[in-house]
Amino acid sequence: MRKVAVIGIGQTKVAENWNKSLRELAGDAILSALYDAQLSTADAFFLGNMMSSAANNQQNLGAYVTDWVGSRGAESIRIESACSSGSAAFRSAVLAVASGEVNIAVAAAVEKMTDSPGAETTAYLATAADADWEVDQGVSFVALNALIMQRYMHEYGWKHQDFANFSINAHNNAMNNPNAMFHMTITEERFNSSPLICDPLTLLDASPIGDGAAAAVIVPLENPFTSMSKTPIRVAGSAAASDTIAVHARQDPLWLSAAEKSAKQAYDQAGVSPENIDLFEYHDAFTIMASLSLEACGFVERGKAPELAIRNEITIDGRLPVATMGGLKARGHPVGATGLFQLVEVIQQLRGQAGKNQVAQPKYGMAQNIGGSGSNIITHILTNDS
Amino acid sequence: MRKVAVIGIGQTKVAENWNKSLRELAGDAILSALYDAQLSTADAFFLGNMMSSAANNQQNLGAYVTDWVGSRGAESIRIESACSSGSAAFRSAVLAVASGEVNIAVAAAVEKMTDSPGAETTAYLATAADADWEVDQGVSFVALNALIMQRYMHEYGWKHQDFANFSINAHNNAMNNPNAMFHMTITEERFNSSPLICDPLTLLDASPIGDGAAAAVIVPLENPFTSMSKTPIRVAGSAAASDTIAVHARQDPLWLSAAEKSAKQAYDQAGVSPENIDLFEYHDAFTIMASLSLEACGFVERGKAPELAIRNEITIDGRLPVATMGGLKARGHPVGATGLFQLVEVIQQLRGQAGKNQVAQPKYGMAQNIGGSGSNIITHILTNDS
């Protein structure tokens, strides 16, 4: 297996991008990434997307986007694993380059959600859950997360307010990210008085939907192209694991076994342990998912994630900076594209290009992207230490 | 890049499978393939599917199916490239195993189309075309193929009846395939009096939609598992290429440049030329696509594909047997699953397990899967010569 590195990144702003079509969003991110890599095309394109079939009446995104960016003829497929489609596309590109079959790959991911009415979007998001055994019983995605959070608070004795700093930190960090959806800080008071959307989840526990695209150019580490890049960022660990799609079928609904499994594999591949991780882009679709991810990855003991938030250990200068560019909560969660935003942000940090949010001299950055309510989880560890 | 082989195959019958859910269909094919390979699980699952989001309100098929077949925890993603999703899943599995990262991969593909009303299915299929520049103008998939066929007949002087043997051959071959949708022969008279669906396409030019799933188990060629398999079938060539998604944007709408490009790469990888191919599972979604595929792959000169049919060179004992188990036309076209059916059928032939349709001592079999109206084409060459 060849070692693999990222030499170009690109992203759009996450927003209600009314003036951009699905292909324009994807194209903007891909062309930025290629420009950043000083390339004009690639051999293969791996496109992550969750809901264009329903929201945009468009599938076959590979061909759709590849031609648009001027790479007609190149190999191109779409990858879908619900909310983890973005990092699944990245991992597919990594494997293709690692195999020796593809020399220059673009991993990109796009989602355009705001064209559809809210109720429809809720239904489209629910296709990530079990149609027969969850959705047809009336359970939405928010409801599943609320049930998990309810159980978590009951089991470990946390109150809703104990999760406040996850959201506050995300909003603070988004202030300095020009591509973030929200540029407003929130206070503990505001978090605590936030309207309930599904008990105990409030609006400020939840990430917003949005439109956006992100992309990365992936090449073999030993390659003439990497010498042109100031800082090739090596993919030190890449692993994916699954769990039951239905939450009720899990032995333990408070433990993300696919997060644990994929993180462990990624640590082993990179030869590191949680203490070596200098920043963590976690999947804070809801504060409860942020908590479960921190625990399953070994950053904190089971049932104790809110302690990290309460003690402010998750800020840019804390022990484990998370959501450094705003996270899903405040950068926004264009669902199938989110995983690639996370990876692009890790790379910004490892290159020292994170501006006011720069983590001090990071060596290893980790991103974990959660599909479904934990059914499909992909973990990557990247490093600037080639 | 490690050499890769298939050691297990499985498939369901293509039919209106009212009594099987999406996950049961996929599960039946995957468990058959694992049983055939004498394995009980795999490290990673690559699921091809086009329209479950719309037709079954279900995405996240990786996790959905992996748990169902008893492989909870394994890596799993869905691959989509419209009608070529099946072979895209196969190629993703091949690259994953070739990279050294995955040791046992299952490539599977499933489609359950007949739950939806016909008009909706036409709309779902149209998501493979360009939503802005084709579909919104009222062009369906059948219409696109009819326009191409009209032009082809005009350009080269063929009559509709000249395409008859493509369909007749497919129906003849399906008679001996227990998994085929249709078990009825058709005559030239019946072909010529078949009702028009979109001038000049008639019902008997077109393949039927259906429900079904197929699967293959892929491992490194040098592997303890292959020694357990009587006949590991080596993946000698695997290549994918794209074209414009919209037909009108092509320089030449009568030339499948992505078919030519991917076939050429696959020939080069396998070290063969068209003369060495002993059977060809082509993508006869419509007789015109069969014709264009034969030409672009170099089996016949441009504009002359119907000659192969008229001269009966495409039958089981002809110069180039095609659609040996019935093809899309008569085995059926469960759209996102079709590519894997093609590959499973090539493997049946190379193993000598094709029953009454067995091609005499084949060494190289080729499958070509066409996504969209030629926008995404994947070509594989397999061999029993390890």
Q: What are phi and psi of A201, to 5 degrees?
A: -70, 130
- The pLDDT assigned to B225 comes to 67
Nearest CA in chain B to A67: B244
Residue B260 CB contacts under 8 Å (≥ 6 apart), including other chains: B296, B297, B298
Q: Which H or E run contains A94?
A: helix A85-98
CA gap B137, B147 in Å, rounded: 14
How many residues does this entry show for chain A?
Answer: 386
- Interhelix angle A118-125/A141-156, rounded to 10 degrees, is 70
Average pLDDT, chain A: 96
B60 and A241 in contact by Cβ < 8 A?
A: no
- The pLDDT assigned to A231 comes to 82
A53 and B54 in contact by Cβ < 8 A?
A: yes
pLDDT band (50, 70, 90) for residue A109: very high
Q: Tokens in use for B284?
A: 């006869």
pLDDT tens-digit series, residues A114-129 = 988 888 899 999 999 9
What's the number of CA atoms in the CB half-sphere (13 Å) around residue B299? 29
pLDDT tens-digit series, residues B70-127 = 999 999 999 999 999 999 999 999 999 999 999 999 999 999 999 888 888 989 999 9
- The pLDDT assigned to B223 comes to 78
pTM score of the predicted model: 0.97
CA gap B42, B8 in Å, rounded: 12
User: Tokens 């298939």 belong to which residue?
Assistant: B6
- The pLDDT assigned to B115 comes to 87
CA gap A125, A129 in Å, rounded: 8
A243 and B56 in contact by Cβ < 8 A?
A: no
A376 and B59 in contact by Cβ < 8 A?
A: no
Average pLDDT, chain B: 96
pLDDT band (50, 70, 90) for residue A61: very high
- The pLDDT assigned to A115 comes to 87
Q: Are B61 and B77 in contact (CB under 8 A)?
A: no
Q: From the candidates A23, A59, A80, A121, which should be mutated to test the interface with B, based on the most B CB atoms within 10 A?
A: A59
pLDDT band (50, 70, 90) for residue A226: low
- The pLDDT assigned to A85 comes to 98
Q: Tokens in use for B285?
A: 């979604």
- In Å, what is the CA distance from A37 to each residue of A34, A45, A87, A198, A221? 5, 15, 20, 44, 13
Output the CA torsion sign for B56, B62, B64, B68: positive
- The pLDDT assigned to B119 comes to 84
Q: From the candidates A49, A83, A242, A261, which should be mutated to test the interface with B, based on the most B CB atoms within 10 A?
A: A242
Give the other-Cβ count within 10 Å of A336's Cβ: 34
pLDDT tens-digit series, residues A12-29 = 999 999 999 999 999 999
CA gap A219, A325 in Å, rounded: 25
Q: From the candidates B20, B41, B77, B133, which should be mutated to test the interface with A, based on the most A CB atoms within 10 A?
A: B77
Least confident of A165-169, A193-197, B134-138, B206-210: B134-138
Active site residue B83: yes
- The pLDDT assigned to A230 comes to 66
> Can you list the positions of beta strands (E) in chain B?
4-11, 44-48, 75-80, 105-112, 196-198, 201-202, 211-220, 233-242, 279-281, 364-371, 376-383
Q: Who among B62, B99, B376 is closest to A63 (CB)?
A: B376
- The pLDDT assigned to B316 comes to 98
pLDDT tens-digit series, residues A330-347 = 999 999 999 999 999 999
Query: In angstroms, what separates the C-alpha of A378 from chain B's closest C-alpha?
Result: 9
Catalytic residue among A160, A171, A333, A380, which?
A333
Query: In angstroms, what separates the C-alpha of B51 from chain A's closest C-alpha?
Result: 8
Residue from B212, B290, B240, B258 nearest B88 by CA: B240
Q: Which residues of chain B have pLDDT under 50?
A: none
Query: In angstroms, what separates the C-alpha of A173 from chain B's closest C-alpha?
Result: 31
CA gap A66, A73 in Å, rounded: 8
A67 and B242 in contact by Cβ < 8 A?
A: yes
A130 and B64 in contact by Cβ < 8 A?
A: yes
Query: In angstroms, what separates the C-alpha of B344 from chain A's closest C-alpha?
Result: 21
A245 and B79 in contact by Cβ < 8 A?
A: no
Q: Who among A44, A63, A245 is closest to B375 (CB)?
A: A63
pLDDT band (50, 70, 90) for residue A228: low
pLDDT band (50, 70, 90) for residue A328: very high
